[in-house]
Amino acid sequence: MHISEELTCLFSATVDEQRDSYVIEVPRSEVEDGFADTSQAYQVALLSTTSESSEEDSGSANTDHRVDHDRQEPPVDVGEHRIVEITEIGDQGDGLTRVERRFVVIVPETQQGERVRIQVQTVKENVAFAEVVERFRY
């Protein structure tokens, strides 16, 4: 799956029925942290949380064969240490933080609002995984 560099925020939400429409709630922190602006319109992508794979997921049904020559490398490297604040909790219960270009780093065993020093363990095209090296008190 390709995730655009234009991605401004990533969060989990449920789709709620309200009268003749459906509503997805945007977490307050997305607006307060500057990732979303209430005066702007956004495109929304819905990704299923099921683990079923489809032809589209495997790429065999994908007819878009364009190559993005301007694609930037992830802004973190394996082994890199950073001090970050966990801004939200993902749908699997892991802490999430964003670094340059709003690149998402997943940090297990952390709480929202926690400030930690992390060491990056794995880097993928659109997400990285890190472990806590040190926890800071406010």
pLDDT at 50: 53
| Domain extents in the chain | 15-53+75-136
**Assigned superfamily of 15-53+75-136:** Nucleic acid-binding proteins (2.40.50.140)
- Break the chain down into helix, strand, coil percent, rounded to 5: 10, 30, 60
Output the CA angle 11-103-27, nearest 5 degrees: 20
pLDDT along the chain (138 residues), means of 10: 65 81 83 81 71 42 44 89 92 92 93 94 94 89
pLDDT at 30: 79
| Nearest residue to 87 via CA among 42, 27, 37 | 27
Q: Structure pTM?
A: 0.51
| Nearest residue to 116 via CA among 138, 100, 132, 93 | 132
